[in-house]
Structure 1
């Protein structure tokens, strides 16, 4: 999707400028949220609770949601038109929690208006639009971030500490996945249309596990992708969940995959196996990361009512299991807090969405591989 030429290009508020003197207390940030579905509600709550932020504006097409969350958090500025909000609300920061195909248009308009942007995953419906967002961030000199809330889980944070400690040695292979028993979101809505969503289970939930695992591995470059996709449940109208059905269209085709698998070659010779599925004949939903290292392995799982993190290693020649202490989950609140900290730091050049763009490029390579039944090399 190309940027909307009618989007506001007004200069940003004075408080959006980087502070010139770190000894001066930075002003509170004026925040807005576009989109008030489940994810948008998490951003609203996070901004409302943040000590350095004033939540001043909301935008959504649903009047009842504007009323509900505006009243709940004392937000007076409420806009059915997001363009009007960007032009009038004098925002420093904005969260975008709308359908995927709207992310790039909204983010670019906000960045051009001098507003820092936090958008929901996936970054965009294709890599070209994700790249356009990064370019807009660089031109505007504003922060662009994507909310990968699952890497903020307490068990993921604990496992990251284990990896950093060196207990596992060199990690040469990893497996990760998110598979659901019955969880196609919005069967018959934008979620299952290729043009608006960019894909199915892989781009919706697989991207979380891709992000999480590459984060744990220390952000190695993905060199090649070999992938396959399947659509066995959705085309038959099976496997749907109750999520996102408010915008359901009668007779809408199912154009995306409900299962994807990918084999990724990483720099340094390590490999990653990724699977994601919206619907499968399995006992229960399951998310997992398994790491294989030269000195130990790690198993992280949640789903089916049981979460676990176990380190498998050896102590003085004897097999040993370590169960690290796990802190609280950070979720969207932690993602918002990190975004706010980046904005308040004044060091914006390194926060232009490049990492999320790389995720989008990996997904695009996977889909290209699935279409051609051949391994695809990612751009350098």
Structure 2
């Protein structure tokens, strides 16, 4: 361990990253830019990525074996940015080795696997976090300030979604296999909107869901991230959904509509959240009309209908998620940061898939 200390007298943290795809690269950049952190190790199967990012950020430890990295690199914190089915074994191993862990979303392929991660964090007395980077967007932060100000009053309903015209990731790879991904569009991008909207609403519990799923594009090799028909590996079926919708019941009587799609016949990709309160409503979106305000609030001022457009700050993205994780680690309050909130998200997604299979409403596991 290094004895160097940043301003404030706290020891610099030694960080490593497992997985060097796009998300892993964001974690690498965040650690490299943080003056309180030494990025000392990277792990990936792709030797050229290890060389590229190791050289770019002067990282001494470069491992193709992630277990070897954990054993040898003397880390304090580690980011896991690998296929979903690897999150549980990697996180549990790292936590048991005494490391604090941040994993990419989704937390795990099932709620049961996510619960194993939480149990490991509690047993080890270490922080377990999940990177929901989109809640760090400037418009989301601005809307949270609006909600917290009380101008909307009691929130009782929300509509939210992330829909794509053509954007199935890795068609024919682990992304579209049930065992490795755990699910399709709902698991991949719907969970972002679920997290964001529950965060904005003040974390009400989801008590029950009624959901449906569809797979109309992927099984035909259509809807991939490029144009036209993607090349699907022969003999590998499309095992997940490319569109999912859900009606969620919240404690206190509130409700939410959630939709997510990787591919459907719509004009363009779109993300949105609309909140309905007793004293006002609010809407944010991106990916649609660029001329539309990033956030709009409808309410009443001095008895007159009013439309407000609050100021929107800069987006935080992965750098903010990593910074929040490091702050949790430095707080020393591991009991408050054991991954429980992300586990609840995983349990809601489990309930969505169970509802779709059963064809009716199901309760969310507690």
TM-score (norm 2): 0.95
Contact 2:2/2:12 (CA < 8 Å) preserved in 1? no
Match of 2:183 in 1: 199
Change (3 A) 1:57 1:366: same
Give 5+ residue unaligned stretches, structure 2.
none
| Counterpart residue number, 1:285 | 269
Name 2:336's counterpart in structure 1.
350
CA distance in 1, matches of 2:336, 2:245: 32
Q: Does 1:72 align with 2:56?
A: yes
Given that 1:186 and 1:242 are in contact with CA atoms closer than 8 Å, whether structure 2 keeps it comes out as no
Query: Partners of 1:155 and 1:178 in 2: how far apart?
Result: 15
Q: Tell me if 1:377 matches 2:363.
A: yes
1:283 to partner: Cα distance? 0.7
Which of 305, 308, 319 matches 1:333?
A: 319
1:146-225 aligned within 5 A = 146-225=130-209
Cα distance, 1:315 vs structure 2:
1.6
In structure 1, what is the equivalent of residue 346 of structure 2?
Answer: 360
CA–CA distance in structure 2, aligned partners of residues 247 and 134 of structure 1 = 38
Could you list the per-position Cα deviations for residues 169-204 of structure 1 after superposition, in whole angstroms to 9, with x for gaps in the alignment?
Answer: 111100000000100000000000001000000000
Alpha-carbon displacement from aligned partner over 1:205-227 (angstroms, at most 9, x marks no partner)? 00000000000000000000100
Show the counterpart of 1:139. 123
SS in 1 for 2:40: strand
SS at match of 2:334: coil
- 2:351·2:365 contact (CA, 8 Å) conserved in 1? no
Equivalents in 1 of 2:89, 2:232: separation in Å? 23
Say what the alpha-carbon RMSD is for the aligned residues: 1.8
Q: Which residue number corresponds to residue 63 of structure 1?
A: 47
The equivalent residue for 1:5 is: none
For residues 139 and 79 of structure 1, do their structure 2 counterparts lie closer, same or farther at Cα, with a shift above 3 Å needed? same
Match of 1:300 in 2: 284
Counterpart in 2 of 1:9?
A: none
State how many pairs are aligned: 359
Q: Secondary structure at the match of 2:315?
A: coil
Classify 1:343/1:194 alpha carbon distance in 2 versus 1 (closer, same or farther; 3 Å).
Answer: same
Q: For residue 241 of structure 1, give the secondary structure of its aligned residue in structure 2.
A: coil
1:248–1:56 distance in 2 versus 1, CA, 3 Å:
farther
1:301 Cα deviation (Å)?
A: 0.7
Structure 2 residue aligned with 1:8:
none
Paired position in structure 2 for 1:316: 302
Confirm or deny that 1:113 pairs with 2:94: no
- Cα deviation, 1:28-71, whole Å, max 9, x if unaligned, reads 00000000000000000000001110000000000110000000
Q: Structure 1's 91 and 150: CA in aligned 2 closer, same or farther, altered over 3 A?
A: same
CA distance in 1, matches of 2:233, 2:118: 33
- Check the 8 A contact 1:186/1:248 in 2, yes or no: no
Question: CA separation in 1, counterparts of 2:22 and 2:234?
Answer: 23
How far is the alpha carbon of 1:14 from its aligned partner?
A: 10
Secondary structure of the equivalent of 1:349?
helix
Deviation for aligned residue 1:97: 0.1
Residue 238 of structure 1 is matched in structure 2 by 222
Report the Cα distance in structure 2 between the residues aligned to 1:285 and 1:334, rounded to whole angstroms: 24
The separation in 1 between residues aligned to 2:232 and 2:50, in whole angstroms, is 21
Rounded Cα–Cα distance in structure 2 between residues aligned with 1:30 and 1:293: 45
Inter-partner Cα distance in structure 1 for 2:64 and 2:30? 21
Q: 1:33 to 1:247 in 2, by over 3 A?
A: farther
Give 1:26 deviation, angstroms: 1.9
CA contact (8 A) 2:153 2:280 kept: yes
Deviation at 1:82, TM superposition (A): 0.3
Does the C-alpha gap of structure 1 residues 232 and 141 become closer, same or farther in structure 2, counting only changes over 3 Å? same
Find the aligned partners of 1:25 and 1:113 in 2 and give their Cα distance. Answer: 26
Q: Is the 8 A contact 1:291 1:299 kept in 2?
A: yes
| Superposed displacement of residue 319, structure 1 | 1.7
